[in-house]
Structures are given as structure tokens and as C-alpha cells.
Structure 1
Amino acid sequence: MATSTNGAPSMFSKSNYTWMLIGAVVIALGMFLMSGGKSADPNVFNRDAVYSTTRITVAPIIIFIGLAIEIYAIFKRSSPEKK
């Protein structure tokens, strides 16, 4: 188990933090894909831009994948360190 700066054992290893960072990037990508749909004219509603397949289907799936990666990162056991 990794130790923190004060000598107490740390809950997460470098591998856990790497997986957490990957999960956060995947979630951010999903949020980016979900954003947009702004119309140049506020009086015009563009149904195709707001309800596109990317925003309604793909982006939420990517966000859920990112959340699954985060759960994996939290529950992943650290391999014992070699001294």
C-alpha cells in the first residue's frame, strides 16, 4: 500500500489516480459532445441541432462509460509495492 507524506498509508496508488484521470477526461468528452445546439437567431428553433443523435444518445453513453471508469478506479486494488 502506498504511503502518504506523513507516513500514513494512502488509499490510492498511482494507478488508481491514473484511472481516475482517464475517467474524468472521458466524462469531460461526453459533456463536450452534449453541449452546443445554439441557434444564430434566438427566435428560430432548430430541432435537428438540439435533438441530434450525438447529444441524445452518444454523449450520455460516453458519460456513463466515464462514470464506470471512475468506479473501477476507486475500487481497484493496489498491487503490493516492492521494497
Structure 2
Amino acid sequence: MAQNQTRPAAPIKTTSATRSQAKEGNSTPIQFIFDKSNYRWFIISIAIVAFGFILMSGTTDIYSTTKIVLAPIVVLAGFALGFFAILKKPSAN
């Protein structure tokens, strides 16, 4: 049996035609999810978590108050600040 070949009804658009249409009709600026302040808070939170781990490594005394109490609180505060940095809405300027 012979197979019938069909031709497309309309010409196929190439990528160069779609690029020119995208440049002409779309001139809105790109809006990012996070603002500059979000990144600043996130970097501060990473520094606080790192400082907490440095406190945790501390001295050779295993049962030091700094290692057992203070360092985990600092690390948890850093993580909380990181969650705040992620969930903070950018300012509507």
C-alpha cells in the first residue's frame, strides 16, 4: 500500500520570526522574587550560623556552657533569620 504524504496547511514559523515578535511586544522589566535586602539578610544569617559552629568547635572542654547552650542558640537564631530572609516580601517601591 502506498502512503500519502500530507503537506502543512500554513508555513511553519521559524525561531527568527518569534524572536522579532518577542522583542517588539514585550518591553516589561524583569522582576526578581527576592530583593536586595533579602540577600543581605540571608548573607547575615549564613555568617551567624557559621559563627555558631565556630563557637561549637571551641575549646577541648566537652561540657563547656558555650558548646552546650550558647552555640546551639546562636545556630538556631541564624536559621530563624534565614527563614525570615526567605519569607520577607520585597518592598513595593
Gaps of 5+ in 1: 1-6, 39-48
> Aligned to 1:21, which of 40, 43, 46?
43
Higher radius of gyration, 1 or 2? 2
Q: Please state how far the C-alpha of 1:50 moved relative to its aligned partner.
A: 1.0
1:44-83 to structure 2, matched below 5 A, reads 49-81=61-93
Identity of aligned residues (%): 42
TM-score (norm. length: structure 1)? 0.72
| 2:34 counterpart residue number | 12
The runs of at least 4 consecutive aligned structure 1 residues that moved more than 2 Å come to none
TM-score (norm. length: structure 2)? 0.65
Aligned-residue CA RMSD in angstroms?
1.2
* Number of residues of Structure 1 aligned to a counterpart in Structure 2: 65
Q: Please state how far the C-alpha of 1:9 moved relative to its aligned partner.
A: 2.2
Q: Which structure ranks higher in relative contact order (CA pairs < 8 Å, sequence separation ≥ 6)?
A: 1
Instruction: Give, in whole Å, the separation in 1 of the partners of 2:57 and 2:40.
Output: 26
Gaps of 5+ in 2: 1-28
Q: Please state how far the C-alpha of 1:21 moved relative to its aligned partner.
A: 0.7
